[in-house]
Every structure is written in structure tokens, then in C-alpha cells.
Amino acid sequence: MKLIKAYIRHRKTEEVYNALKKEGFFSMTLVRCEGTGRYSDHEKEHINDQYPFTDAYRVIKLEILVADEHVAPVIQLIRQNGRTGYRGDGMIIVSPVDEVFKVRTDENGILAV
């Protein structure tokens, strides 16, 4: 199993979410956060009023746990639907997951996903 974390533009969230759902990936976590990086469109993003000393802008962190064989298709869906072609489109991180347990049912492993 792998945990995929994708940091995407706020305005691309609906497209990415709908594309994943359409392909059967329903269980995910979406978190509003703020990010900084090497990008040039500072004026086009929502500059952070809370941390004016930074050039942080709003991003969404999408987290999704998938079986190993689903990693490539999920990454492809995120890239296709989250891309604008401009700097600051985000990043995708894939990490191994040793164990998963469902709190309510005690299921574990891929059955818990």
C-alpha cells in the first residue's frame, strides 16, 4: 500500500476530486493549507494575509491511500486534472504504508481502505 499526498492549486480541487471519484477512488482526505515554493505567479494566487512576511498561497493537500497497483493511475489522474502548465501547480509525494487499521471494524491491510 502507498499513501499519496498531492499538493494542488485550490482552484483545481474539484476537477481532481471528480476525476478520482469517476475512476472509483472515493476515500480521500482534503486539507486546506498554505504553501510556498519556486513559482512566479504571485499576483495570480491568493496571497496569505495571515503570514504577510511569506509568499504563501492557498493549496489543497489531498491524501489518498491506495494499493500498489493503483499508484500510477491515481498519479496520472491528479497530474492530468491538476495541471495548469504554470509554475506552482504543486507536487505529488508517494510513501510506503506498513499497516492500516479501520477503527470501527478492526479490518486491517487493504481491506481497511
Q: Residue 56: which CATH number?
A: 3.30.70.120
Place of cell 500510477: 72
Share of the chain above pLDDT 70, in %: 83
What pLDDT does 57 receive? 75
* Digit-coded pLDDT (tens) for 38-56: 664 555 555 556 666 566 6
Provide the number of structural domains found in the chain: 1
C-alpha grid cell, residue 96: 510506503
Cβ-Cβ contacts under 8 Å for 31 (sequence gap 6 or more): 60, 61, 62, 63
pLDDT above 90: residue 20: yes
- Judge contact between 2 and 65, C-beta under 8 A: yes
Range in 18-27, 30-39, 47-56, 68-77 the model is least confident about? 47-56
Structure pTM?
Answer: 0.84
Q: Which domain holds residue 13?
A: 2-112
